[in-house]
């Protein structure tokens, strides 16, 4: 299996899970700066022209969340559980995509990516709305995590990796986390995982 990635927020989830599970993947770096994600060969793997992509023979899977679940199944691991927890994990994956990392990802783009790609300063109007949305959803997450170790049940799941994704860039993305101690405690546990802290192959 080949895992196409670059060192950004969405591939981070797939790469971290691959590393955590020691999945038998060959990491293939896609240089977004050089437009490799728009080459016809890459678009044949993912017509969206985005990373990550997992390729196995003539089959390819895109969407980081789906890749995490697939890698868990291949490893017969429990990150994507197949019991009553699965619906809870799906709840958090959906909530994350629609709300939490949607606003966290906007702040990541405005404050972390734009300056690095020479795209100018953050748009204050966009950042203000995203900060308000992030804060509102962080409040919900913080309350959920107050007496929990992980998002679902008593063990790590793909939901933890998904919801953690923007938090890996908390400082540079200016995520307002100071008033959310339960999120900070939970994230410190995720960040303790070498696979999460250091998910990408050395260049």
Ligand X SMILES: N[C@@H](CCC(=O)N[C@@H](CS)C(=O)NCC(=O)O)C(=O)O
Q: Which residues bind ligand X (CB under 6 A)?
A: 8-10, 32, 37, 49-52, 63-64
The count of other CB atoms within 10 Å of the CB of residue 140 is 12
Residue whose CB is less far from ligand X, 32 or 195: 32
Minimum CB distance to ligand X, residue 174 (Å): 18
Residue whose CB is less far from ligand X, 9 or 79: 9
d(CA 46, CA 37): 9
Pair of tokens at residue 192: 């303790």
Pair of tokens at residue 155: 């063990």
Minimum CB distance to ligand X, residue 185 (Å): 26
Residue whose CB is less far from ligand X, 161 or 180: 161
Residue whose CB is less far from ligand X, 13 or 142: 13
Q: Would you list the DSSP string of 83-152? A: STHHHHHHHHHHHIIIIIHHHHHHHIIIIIIHHHTT--S--HHHHHHHHHHHHHHHHHHHHHHTT-SSSS
Minimum CB distance to ligand X, residue 27 (Å): 15
Sign (positive or negative) of CA dihedral 125, 126, 127, 132: positive
- Cα separations in angstroms, 55 against 27, 97, 158, 180: 10, 23, 20, 38
Residue whose CB is less far from ligand X, 52 or 104: 52
Minimum CB distance to ligand X, residue 123 (Å): 18
Return the residue nearest ligand X (CB atom): 50
Minimum CB distance to ligand X, residue 52 (Å): 6
């Amino acid at each position: 299996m080949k895992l196409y990635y670059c060192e950004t927020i969405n591939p981070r989830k797939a790469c971290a899970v691959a590393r955590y599970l020691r999945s038998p993947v060959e990491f293939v770096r896609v240089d977004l700066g050089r437009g490799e994600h728009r080459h016809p060969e890459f678009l044949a793997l993912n017509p969206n022209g985005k990373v990550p992509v997992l390729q196995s023979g003539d089959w390819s899977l895109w969407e980081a969340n789906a890749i995490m679940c697939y890698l868990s199944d291949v490893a017969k691991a429990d990150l994507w559980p197949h019991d009553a927890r699965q619906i809870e994990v799906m709840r958090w994956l959906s909530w994350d995509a629609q709300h939490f990392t949607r606003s966290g990802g906007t702040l990541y783009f405005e404050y972390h990516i734009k300056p690095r790609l020479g795209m100018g300063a953050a748009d204050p109007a966009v950042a203000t709305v995203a900060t308000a949305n992030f804060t509102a959803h962080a409040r919900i997450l913080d309350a959920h995590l107050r007496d929990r170790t992980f998002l679902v049940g008593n063990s790590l799941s793909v939901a933890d990796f998904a919801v953690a994704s923007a938090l890996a860039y908390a400082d540079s993305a200016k995520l307002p986390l100071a008033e959310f101690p339960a999120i900070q405690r939970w994230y410190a546990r995720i960040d303790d995982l070498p696979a999460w802290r250091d998910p990408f192959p050395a260049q």
